[in-house]
Copies of this chain bind each other. A is one copy, B any other.
């Protein structure tokens, strides 16, 4: 498959551009019988939407999802589900000017080489964070599917912005408070410090890095298809599709480098009659298979490349370096708006694997739904 197709049995096809007519997605392989309407998709999309807070881009997009196919009388039919949001608030003026002055940290120049200059560079085109609206539409379907059939919940939040790190949080805190503030950190005190830092960084014309942590609970034992389609492998692949992701780790992740086996191994024990690892240094995945403990994955986001501080770059027509100031409307930090996107990507991969493992059948029986 070319690069805009993800998954094996719950397959997501991404299309659309930042400043084109729309951003969209097609899901092929969603089981029949899932109750679904725009109302199931819109809330998650709203959480991703720009123009909502002082710490995000002022670009205003209504981002109303339209389901074009695959739903009939309130349920999925087993046919492909196409969904779009139409682009409204497009302002492409600033990009024309940047055509020969690639913005540092952006894919402008590399895309130009790859696509021979034919790519739609306006607003970053396919490389814009706006493309993730399509991920979220598909994610909302995947997350609902997981919830009603297996009781799986996927919950992400901002764990770190710059040097500000959230303390350990319980699953309940994450579930209830992750969307309670604009920075999407469930710990209010930390959130306040994060917001403070972000405003400061923005005021200085700069941007800042962030870290999103995501947990998935109620994942049954044994999801994943080793060796190449291991659960961690597929989650990592899907997360790297989100612009600005530079690292992915599970459980102790990079901290395992400094660990001894005797402290890092998770011994099995009985928890409420179920065989489970007592600790979760593995982040819920061993040998590419889910362990029954919560999946725990952390995603490093670089600081957004677009900053208003003057930067040096190469002018491709003069082939001389010059100063560039990136105007346009940008986020000073990615993590907060990426939270629903991370949940979506993890949800899409889990849905795909649950179907592959035979845990979700091709036709659902709504009378047996959870919750």
Contacts and interface: CB of A to CB of B under 8 A. Distances in A.
A63 B194 CA distance: 52
A119 interface: yes
A149 interface: no
A253 interface: yes
Contact of A228 (B8, B237, B292): B237
A41 interface: no
B251 A76 contact: no
19 contacts: A2-B225, A2-B356, A5-B28, A13-B80, A16-B69, A16-B80, A17-B69, A22-B68, A72-B119, A72-B120, A104-B268, A109-B275, A111-B287, A114-B357, A232-B245, A241-B288, A256-B302, A282-B302, A358-B361
Interface in A239-284: 240-241, 243, 245-254, 256-262, 264-270, 275, 281-283
A178 interface: no
A207 interface: yes
A256 to B, nearest CB: 4
Given A20-B72, A289-B110, A311-B265, A240 B232 contact: yes
Interface in A64-123: 68-70, 72, 75-82, 84, 102, 104-107, 109-111, 113-116, 118-120, 122
Given A119-B72, A209-B257, A254-B211, A126 B227 contact: yes
A131 B227 contact: yes
Contacts of A351: none
A15 interface: yes
Interface of A: 1-6, 8-9, 11-17, 20-22, 24, 26, 28-29, 32-33, 68-70, 72, 75-82, 84, 102, 104-107, 109-111, 113-116, 118-120, 122, 125-127, 131, 160-163, 201, 205-211, 221-222, 224-230, 232-234, 236-238, 240-241, 243, 245-254, 256-262, 264-270, 275, 281-283, 286-292, 300-307, 309, 311-314, 316, 319, 321, 356-358, 361-364
B116 A209 contact: no
Q: In this complex, which of A161, A247, A254 has the most chain B Cβ atoms within 10 angstroms of its Cβ?
A: A247
Contacts of A264: 105, 209, 302-303
Contact of A254 (B249, B291, B311): B249
Contacts of A275: 109, 314, 316
A304 to B, nearest CB: 6
B119 A77 contact: yes
A264 B321 CA distance: 18
Nearest to A132: B227
A247 B253 contact: yes
A311 B222 CA distance: 23
Given A69-B24, A106-B287, A118-B76, A246 B240 contact: no
Contacts of A303: 256, 259-261, 264
Nearest to A312: B267
A169 to B, nearest CB: 18
A55 to B, nearest CB: 14
Contacts of A201: 260
A322 to B, nearest CB: 11
B24 A82 contact: yes
A249 B246 contact: yes
B222 A126 contact: no
Contact of A289 (B111, B210, B287, B306): B111
Given A17-B72, A256-B302, 8 more contacts: A2-B28, A5-B5, A22-B69, A78-B115, A113-B221, A209-B256, A230-B240, A246-B254
